[in-house]
Structure 1
Amino acid sequence: MDESLIVKNIARHISLNDKETSYFLSLLKEKKLQKRELILKQQQLCKEISFVQSGVLRAFYLDPAGKESTVMFALPDWWITDMYCFINQKPAMLTIEALEESSVLQLTKDNLDELYTQVPKFEKFFRIMMQNAYIREQLRTIESLSLSAEERYYTFLQKYPLAAERITQKQIASYLGITPEFLSAIKTNKQKNNES
């Protein structure tokens, strides 16, 4: 498995020596995913956090009526899990699926706890990662309260320009909290404005 991407990801926040790097990498398990394959299903015990090496993953909530609400997308160099359920070892509230052929490196909760003991600086790394995730979610909540659907779509395109080409309109609409038809109308309107 190619570990260079995850090593660079870690190095953004903490410095590891060769022994610490080797130990960390020894705890990871590589998983190859086919398109639409699930790495976590709602109500299943959430045992791993995953680092995306290639491909695109999506975390979504499925309500009792069968409506999907996308919570997040994960591209290469991103981490993804159902964080509340992973940390507390509870049944998942989210489902996580591969939107295309993908590869992830997974770390179990037991191995993460062992990592904190053996290489304490990883507590700093995951604290920073969780702070950043919390900030992202807070900003997203504020955007959903203060921006129009059209503004939220343009913000999405600015934040995830590469993702927009790899994700279906239905999935983007479910992330934005609008219908695919409304998203289509926004895109048509944008096209007309660009042409005039």
Structure 2
Amino acid sequence: MAELTEIKSLLSQINLPEKEQEDLLSISKIKQLKKNEFFISEGQVPKKFGIVIDGLFRYYYVNNKGDEFTKGLILTGNVLTAYSAMLHQQKSLFYIQALEDAVILEINYNLWLELKKQNPFWDKFLILLLQKGYCVKEKRERELLLLDAETRYKIFQEEFPTLEKRIKLQIIASYLGIKPESLSRIRKKTTS
């Protein structure tokens, strides 16, 4: 289990002042998830969000044929949330799955809303998180719409240099928007 000092260190790295760290910890719980366990499932109305203390997660959709489409990869120090579903208290349209054993700081959304009412810091913090998420989303959309698969793979390797050793190639292919066979061809071409 993650030590409190480790959690506080991580919260400092994401620019949470000491008082806000204490406030957040007072409404949170440390939760361990096993590899392949879901933090949020499609169809669930989310009432929580989390901060990844240790581990790796993915956001993904499943179509009516059972094909998976990885929308994002979430590393240590980042927030886990199906934000629009949580905000509107609607069912999540995607899954949030641990890709390895993980530890998160799980935050109850309703308690966080109460905290937010008491301290304007949380509005500013939320805006920063939303800006970061929007920039990631905009970059990802551009890459998927305008760049070829080989270029997307090179960008993936630059952004996530250790992930190929940590996750299945089919998840990487899903993230890149290609079939696993295409990824195998690209990998063969780039390593030869």
Using the size of structure 1 for normalisation, the TM-score is 0.90
Shift of 1:21: 2.7
Aligned partners of 1:95, 1:13: CA distance in 2, in Å? 24
Matching residue's letter, 1:182? S
Matching residue's letter, 1:54? D
Matches within 5 A, 1:165-180: 165-180=165-180
Aligned to 2:108: 108
Rate the CA distance shift 1:120–1:10 in 2: closer, same or farther, 3 A.
Answer: farther
Shift of 1:17: 4.1
Aligned to 2:36: 36
Q: Which moved more, 1:6-15 or 1:125-134?
A: 6-15
Matches within 5 A, 1:29-108: 29-108=29-108
Aligned to 1:135: 135
Rate the CA distance shift 1:102–1:140 in 2: closer, same or farther, 3 A.
Answer: same
1:10 and 1:125 in contact (8 A); partners too: no
Runs (4+) off by over 6 Å: none
Which deviations, in whole Å up to 9, do the C-alpha atoms of 1:137-180 show, x marking residues without a partner? 00111111221100001101111112232111000100111000
Shift of 1:12: 5.2
Aligned partners of 1:2, 1:68: CA distance in 2, in Å? 35
Matching residue's letter, 1:16? P
Taking only aligned residues, the RMSD between alpha carbons, in angstroms, comes to: 1.7
Shift of 1:101: 0.9
SS at match of 2:100: coil
Rate the CA distance shift 1:23–1:91 in 2: closer, same or farther, 3 A.
Answer: same
How many residues align? The count is 191
1:87 and 1:109 in contact (8 A); partners too: no
Q: Which moved more, 1:69-78 or 1:176-185?
A: 69-78
Aligned to 2:184: 184
Does residue 162 of structure 1 match 2:141?
A: no
Aligned-residue identity in percent: 30
Matches within 5 A, 1:115-134: 115-134=115-134
Q: Which moved more, 1:130-139 or 1:46-55?
A: 46-55
Aligned partners of 1:154, 1:185: CA distance in 2, in Å? 14
Aligned partners of 1:74, 1:23: CA distance in 2, in Å? 24
Q: Which moved more, 1:79-88 or 1:6-15?
A: 6-15
Which 5+ residue runs of structure 1 have no aligned equivalent?
none
Which 5+ residue runs of structure 2 have no aligned equivalent?
none
